[in-house]
Chain A
């Protein structure tokens, strides 16, 4: 869906559901997921429908993911960090796991 322009920041490795994904400095979690071609980042708590980032400006909350064990984080607002553990969020899975 998206390709990176030639100019990009230094590589940063994160894991998404345990698999290594190569991101770049300046990426947010949501941008890194989109660049990696990941299809959805969560399922809804109501019907279990898949969702992916929609607005990327902190408004829609469809990019909610679990970051380093904390659920319901807005992926579009969080910059990637080396070694960050991102998990797709299934339904109500945000606490008490």
Chain B
């Protein structure tokens, strides 16, 4: 177990995040002879898609599916590569000088990096419906996390709601594991098919097409699916029932667990705080970093690979990590032998094929992204959609000004669960584009650290002299 004190003061390459992109990048770079450290805040490597790949108690391979087990090779390869892989290591700061602030076991260090690859992946898109803060309302990704890492499977009265491939995958995995799902509330707007249909030929050629169809069939055979356009979680101290409506009327179901999901979006916090330029991607309805062909960002020496570069899935993430790592190796050690990027780029292209279809099909409806009234937009500071809308109408032009008025985005999650909502609400009220409105300017530490952790940073020579004097 690597402690903060064991870290070198600098590494040629620091990779942040141990999902497919980070693992592939670290192992490629380390094999090419680059001193590489990979920091990951989770107890084990794998990221979200291959979570707990080295430790999962779910031994029946059919439950999680063969795609999950693909991650084992990546983890093995990284372990054997010579890269230093540190789990339980939270990176809380990265700046344009490539100083990396990291905490391990309550002790902090600031490490110099020759190059940095941010591979912090994606997070689930905020799903601000009435009652989404109640205990018993969780994300689909959360249920999948405990299934993979702890072998916990949902039971009793469980309803899944939303859209996107992960929702159907978790449903299938739950059923295979012997869990029970009472209903799926499908929020995919019907008209999405019109925009998606033109991309169907590409999707039909992608590896996800057959898998996706099989998954849908598997789940639909055993779980009732309702198409809905409004969902509310109801209860006082916890969720007691879910109320949903469609053109056909309103229905209620008693629930113990309501699992929400409407796709994933890049986890932008670290890149944003490092000064990386982002732009709005209207197809994926999120901010994505501006990157070159090698996934290099606007900040010299900092690349963003994996789903953090725009959503494309786990296999694509690994290929992106490799491309970013090759660029890093070439910059650090021009004579090192690296794989041919052409072959990797071709594989990446095949993976990304069909993405347009999935993006357009699963684009969440406006009402599920831009709530109204008392629905909470900012969970940490409990700021409602109405407050955000009213403040925007009063003249507040952007999320950074909004922070000062309402404190939205100022809590511990630092805007991760409200940033997109607040941007889109302001844009809607002010009849501007999300790009014009912009996003929170994020400030380090991007993960809260205690004062004691900060105080534990090694005392610099200058400070020691000042005290002695």
* Interface positions of A (Cβ within 8 A of B): 1-5, 7-9, 24, 26-28, 31, 34-35, 39-40, 44, 46-47, 49-62, 64, 70, 72, 76-77, 79
Contacts and interface: CB of A to CB of B under 8 A. Distances in A.
Given A49-B133, A60-B416, A7 B57 contact: yes
Interface of B: 41-43, 48, 52, 55, 57-59, 88, 90, 106, 123-124, 133, 135-139, 141-142, 145-146, 149-156, 158, 177-179, 237-238, 256-257, 267, 379-382, 411-413, 416-417, 447-448, 450, 452
Contacts of A50: 135, 237-238
B148 to A, nearest CB: 10
Contact of B152 (A4, A58, A59, A61): A4
Contacts of B88: 77, 79
Given A46-B381, A47-B382, A51-B133, A31 B149 contact: yes
A9 B410 CA distance: 38
Given A34-B152, A50-B237, A39 B135 contact: yes
Interface of B is mostly: loop
Contact of A57 (B141, B158, B238, B450): B141
A79 B42 CA distance: 9
A26 B150 contact: yes
A50 B133 CA distance: 9
A4 B149 contact: no
B383 to A, nearest CB: 9
B232 to A, nearest CB: 16
Identify which of B57, B178, B256 gathers the most chain A CB atoms within 10 Å of its CB.
Answer: B57
Contact of A4 (B59, B133, B138, B151): B151
Given A8-B151, A55-B123, A55-B417, 16 more contacts: A1-B158, A1-B257, A5-B58, A5-B178, A7-B151, A26-B55, A26-B150, A28-B149, A35-B150, A39-B238, A52-B138, A56-B139, A57-B142, A62-B379, A64-B412, A79-B43
Nearest to B256: A1
10 contacts: A1-B155, A26-B43, A53-B138, A56-B145, A56-B146, A57-B142, A59-B413, A60-B416, A61-B380, A64-B412
Nearest to A2: B152
Given A56-B141, A56-B145, A72-B448, A3 B379 contact: no
A26 B382 contact: no
B412 to A, nearest CB: 4
Contact of A70 (B142, B267, B450): B450
Given A34-B146, A59-B123, A51 B155 contact: no
Nearest to B412: A61
Contact of A26 (B41, B57, B59, B123): B57
Given A1-B257, A7-B58, A27-B150, A54 B237 contact: no
B230 to A, nearest CB: 21
Nearest to B238: A39
B126 to A, nearest CB: 9
A54 B139 contact: yes
A54 B139 CA distance: 6
Contact of B141 (A9, A55, A62, A64): A55
